[in-house]
Structure 1
Amino acid sequence: MAKTRDSMNTPAKRQDQTVRSTEADVSAFLDKVKSAPRPAPGTSGRLIFALDATMSRQPTWDTACQLQGEMFQEAASIGGLKIKLVYFRGFGECRASRWFETGQELAGVMSRITCQGGHTQIRKVLSAAISAAEKEKIAAVVYVGDCMEENVDALCDKAGQLGLLGVPMFLFQEGRDQVAESAFREIARLTNGAYCPFDAGAARQLSELLKAVAVFASGGHKALTAFEKKGGQGARLLLEQLKPSS
């Protein structure tokens, strides 16, 4: 009996296609990080860690609480990392923290935050990043979210301002909401940053990418080369693509 189109499209085949798609997304993301502006040498990197804390983000928030400690640990061996937490939730609530210099401090604050239902407030995140960048050098902005419910032109206007300040924005999207993906890709382009999707539950993948950005924020591409030598196999495979082209 001849195989039908559906019978040929087995779960194993679909899974393999998904893996290849994810690898391509990660490669594209890291290629963009490679071309981002380098932090000034000899300084402690400043990274804004922005999160969507609406109700749908609870699983990712819990994951972020665990992963931010790893970001600090990797950056500490290079020259340090200061992180400002920015998050939004509920009805019009968007908060920006002070600069944290240890993972324990940031973890303590994040552990007391609960996710609440509401619409996205990415424009406020961009405004907070612009305000911080106007006062001091910001190496990068990381944003983790799953959707976008705002005027995309207004977001792009803010992203353009952030780009003029020389601050790349690295956007991580859980899932494949097309509206959010389109907006996130454009924000990444305007800030000379990068976009990368990740799957729910892919904590290891997100961890490797976040650590790579943290190391970049602390010491640039030279630090990434050193990090590659001591990192796990997964980190080495990712960081290989972050090396400057010769």
Structure 2
Amino acid sequence: MSKYWLLGVLLAGCLVGCTTTEPKPTTAEAVVVEPELSAQEKRNRHIQQLLFAAERALARDRLLKPGYDNAYDRYASVLIMDPDNAEAVLGLQAIVLRYLDMARNAAQRSYFDDAQMYLNRASQIMPDDTAVQTLVAQQRESLAKPEPRPEAENAYILDRALLNSRSDEVKQQLAELAQSARANNHMVLIVAATDAQGRWLYQTMRKAVPGYLLRGDIQVGSPARIELLPPL
């Protein structure tokens, strides 16, 4: 037997022993296939997404603006797909009420142009709704004819000329009223022609009673006066 023959046998055995095969997978991977949604299911899902986004915009006072993220557009989109959607109708009504509230607040601060702007926006939300348009018209009329606030029993009228000049006499009167409020634990209601005038009145009174928390409120109205109210 030739030594070359023996060497060939050994090499062949080595090659056979060194050959490897990839392991076969023991388990097959499962493929999950979600069922295809029907057109109605897709529509309902889209409506819910719009309602959620509309509520979020409403909570942030994004009522008509900005154009890419406001409550009105989303509620209106829902009503195009589902004209009887109660949530969308309630959402539009909520926008109207919010604008009416903003108009009242603006009018109380004598920002009448802003108040009219808010009322105009409120009327645009549901133009065919008689109840909504009636509410807007009533509030618009109340802005045109503001009702004077009734004076309290302890009301101290401020002289207009002295107040406008911020004279020492009116400062002395305010100091005495502030000290009386502190002595009797009264709350103070300041009625002034403008917000700026009301803030000046309050600051002047507060300086007269250092270290004391002068509790009260400021309202725009006429005549300018200080009302001392008993604590609640």
TM-score of the pair, normalised by structure 2: 0.28
Structure number with bigger Rg: 2
Determine which structure has the larger strand proportion and give its number. 1
Q: Which has the higher contact order (CA 8 A, sep 6+)?
A: 1
